[in-house]
Chain A
Amino acid sequence: MLNEFFQANPISGMLMTIGCYWIGQIIYDRTQWTVLQPILTSSTMIILFLMYAKIPYDVYYQQNTVLNYILPLTAVVLAVPLYRNLNVLKKHLLPILAGILAGTIATMAAIVVIGKLIGTDDSILISMIPKSATNPIAIEVAGIIGGIPSLTVSLVVATGIFGGVLGPEVLKLIRIKHEVARGIALGSMSHAVGTARAFKEGEIEGSMSSLAMAIAGTLTAILSPVFVLFF
């Protein structure tokens, strides 16, 4: 019954997406807990509902066509925060570019080497390569390099949350005190979630993280096809 009702009404899918995100945002605002990212809580609610009501994913996907269609636009607008932080970029140009480039290469190399060593499925590893990029870029990269876009998007969300929670602890452990270095690591390794965390530490960390996210995403797009050559 629930299944037929959901499928017959063309608005149900998008209504659920927006509604669950709204609930997720309220939960996050109340708790301020990094693990409770609205995208994680809302997606979990939707998956549980679809499985309970036995609604196929394709039906839900088609009912969200409007959102899916303008999704590529979300990468283009990253130019605005990058331009706003141009001053801080110019001030530490070499350390920023070197740090982001080294971090991006290191994290992608680690995926390929460790994954191959323990025998992870190739389709999963390829989907994991762009995981540190922001989702607007990662999802398109996944399509180009032959990964599974849905898996990549979920791995990007997981990376953001792990990085946002563990990142500051790692930085404390290895005694990184410089605001620039902290911001660069957070933004280049865990995109928007890391950036939100960086802004809690301070203005410089936040701006650094914000521009690192855009630059790391671009580098990931350029370098990912190179790492796929190892498969």
Chain B
Amino acid sequence: MILKQLFLILSALFLGYALSLTVHLPIPANVIGFALLFAAICVGIVKLCHVDKVSDFIIKYLAVFFITPTVGIMQYFDLIGEQFIHIVVPLLASILIGFFVAAKVTELFIRLGERNRIKKGLGGSDAE
């Protein structure tokens, strides 16, 4: 079962690379693989129970795979030391601005949607 799951997930990544090598899009092959697997599950070619166990395992331990590249930061300590303030300022500011815009725009569109529903006489409350 695990082998079948691994095979299907690897196939999606394989097709992602195949597409990326032929079409030359500036989008990472694994993002294409992700989109392909998502589409395959939506259409029903692949069932969720065919890929869920391996996926849940990898997602649970996702961070383990990124320890090695994170440790790689030690090669750039000189650059970071020189530019510390120049890194922290745009990083923090962009996070705060991103939070503000994402939350405000989502809320705005929810309100607009509710107002439209009231106009149509369907009631404004968003019952769960």
Residues of A within 8 A of B (CB): 17-18, 20-21, 37-39, 42-43, 46-47, 50-51, 57, 60-61, 64, 67-68, 70-84, 86, 92, 94-96, 98-100, 102-104, 106-108, 110-111, 114-115, 118-121, 123-125, 128, 131-132, 135-137, 139-141, 143-145, 148-151, 153-155, 157-159, 162-163, 166-167, 170-171, 174, 176, 178, 180-182, 184-185, 188-190, 192, 214, 217-218, 221-222, 225
B72 an interface residue at 8 Å Cβ cutoff?
yes
Q: Among A57, A155, A157, A182, which residue has its beta carbon within 8 angstroms of that of B75?
A: A57
Contact call A124/B79, Cβ cutoff below 8 A: yes
Contact call A153/B28, Cβ cutoff below 8 A: no
Q: A78-B59, A111-B90 are in contact. Are A103 and B95 (CB under 8 A)?
A: no
Residues from chain B with Cβ under 8 Å of A106 in the complex: 97-98, 100-102
**B: contact size bracket:** 35 or more
Q: Among A121, A166, A171, which residue has its beta carbon within 8 angstroms of that of B83?
A: A121
Of residues 37 through 80 on chain B, the ones whose CB sits less than 8 Å from some CB of chain A are 37-38, 41-42, 48, 51-52, 54-56, 58-59, 61-76, 79-80
Total number of A-B contacts with CB less than 8 angstroms? 303
| A185–chain B nearest beta-carbon distance, Å | 4
Residues from chain B with Cβ under 8 Å of A70 in the complex: 65
